[in-house]
Amino acid sequence: SILADGTSNQQYTSLTWRTYRYIQLKVTTKDEPLVIDDIYGTFTGYPFVLKTSFESGNDTDKKMLEIGWRTARLCAWETYMDCPYYEQLQYIGDARIQALVTLYNTNDDRLVRNALTLMDNSRIAEGITLSRYPTDLHQEIPTFSLWWIGMLHDYWMYRPDANFIKDKLPGERQVLSFFQRYQGADGSLKNVPYWIFSDWVDNRKGWDYGVAPIGKDGYSSVLDLQLMWTYQVAAEMETAIGFKDIAKLYLLKAAQLKQTIQKKYWDKTKQLYADTEEKNLFSQHANSLAILSGMVTGTESKALAQHLLTDTFMAQASIYYKYYLHQALIKAGLGNNYKKWLGKWQENIDLGMTTWAEMSDVSGTRSDCHAWGSSPNIEFFRTILGVDSDAPGFAKIKIEPHLGDITHISGYMPHPNGMVSTGYKNEAGKWAIDISLPVNTTGRFLWKGKVFPLKAGMNNFNL
């Protein structure tokens, strides 16, 4: 409460900031009236400048991108933040998605590099990072340390800054060394300490405060699959800019895990990977990671992806983990249906939200503003328009659109060498396609099973 002393031109500013949607002002006067000359808010946040355009003629698309960008802006200050109201802390699980939103929508990667460096500096004596940093309230989430390695790989693929990543590889090795201490003879993880958070899953048997089910013998497919995936992406970086012998070790460990996971968790009857050896619990999480880590490929991955969409007995991914679910579905060849998977975001809009809620239970969510839900601000460009990195440093560009029933769409996004623009227009069954790549950059265009080379500058196709 604020007590006015009756003089003119009094001012009040809070000592720190906090996000809000509405302000309720209650005034109690005594013998004299109180005059409020003005009341206003000041926006506080990192000065990102949006460098993208997405023109589909669809108002919902526009709304989703606006809400996602607003959420991303409000969750970025000196560092990324999980939310601008409660903790205001940089969590790795959130930051990986936030960093990709940054890389796809701006040409300013300073906050990404800052996040990667701070997390590297947060590593404890055992080798893993803290779950969130900077903060003096220590919390360890080992699975987030694995996502930090994934975040390193993202930056390596989208920015030509290999020396920066090379400097972080000792930290990556320490993280994986930590996990190796808890791998058994068959490679499977057991008794990993601290909070093994995967996702906020509502009312599903076996899920305990964000931790995926663990079997009677202490094993978890979600944990084993995430470690396998991390060995793979770490091996890619080590092969290119680190030590090839370390890469070989990682690939051997990944291959061992692949055999173990298939033996322990594959359910032949349901044609799914179970969460535990007992094979009585299943999740979108385990099966998404199975596709992303290459446990299944080709027609097998597409069949598994169909199960992800139809088998409702599986524990469902939250708005956060849908990033990984959608990546798996796209990798399996279902990307043309991407816009059909955005029901949770539409629910936010229908409830009048202006930022993305933290939880899938939108009406009961604690935080109304969590940028880990802003993944459409990545996928509208990477999946729908089809723009992705095809080599470390974004040195080559892959254009593989997933248009679904869209007949007219265009957009552009930043690239280290300039801008990438795409335009697709269908008239009378014929597609007019315009793709422009920045200077000194080549790529390839994938369209209905065919591959076309792309040169710097304008590329036109009539297909």
**What does the pLDDT look like over 8-26, one tens digit per residue?**
889 989 889 889 989 899 9
pLDDT at 363: 86
User: Do 411 and 53 meet the contact criterion of CB atoms below 8 Å apart?
Assistant: yes
Residue 330's closest CA among 394, 412, 401?
401
Query: Residue 90: is its pLDDT beyond 90?
Result: yes
Mean pLDDT of 36-55: 95
Span 420-438, pLDDT tens digits? 999 999 999 999 999 999 9
Q: What is the mean pLDDT of the chain?
A: 97
Span 347-387, pLDDT tens digits? 999 999 999 999 989 988 999 999 999 999 999 999 999 99
Span 205-245, pLDDT tens digits? 999 999 999 999 999 999 999 999 999 999 999 999 999 99
User: Do 182 and 191 meet the contact criterion of CB atoms below 8 Å apart?
Assistant: yes
Q: For tokens 């930290």, name the residue.
A: 171
Q: Is the pTM of this model over 0.75?
A: yes
Domain 385-463 has CATH 2.60.420.10: yes
Q: Where are the domains of the chain?
A: 53-384, 385-463
Q: Map 297-356 to HEC letters.
A: CHHHHHHHHHHHHHCCCCECCCCCCHHHHHHHHHHHHHHHHHHHHCHHHHHHHHCCCCCC
Domain 53-384 has CATH 1.50.10.10: yes
Span 267-294, pLDDT tens digits? 999 999 999 999 999 999 999 999 999 9
Span 255-264, pLDDT tens digits? 999 999 999 9
pLDDT at 8: 86
pLDDT at 401: 99
In our burial notation (b when 16+ CB lie closer than 10 A, e otherwise), range 58-87 reads: eeebeebbebbbbbbbbbbbebbbbbbbee
Give the strand pairing for 408-415 and 53-55.
antiparallel
Mean pLDDT of 172-176: 99
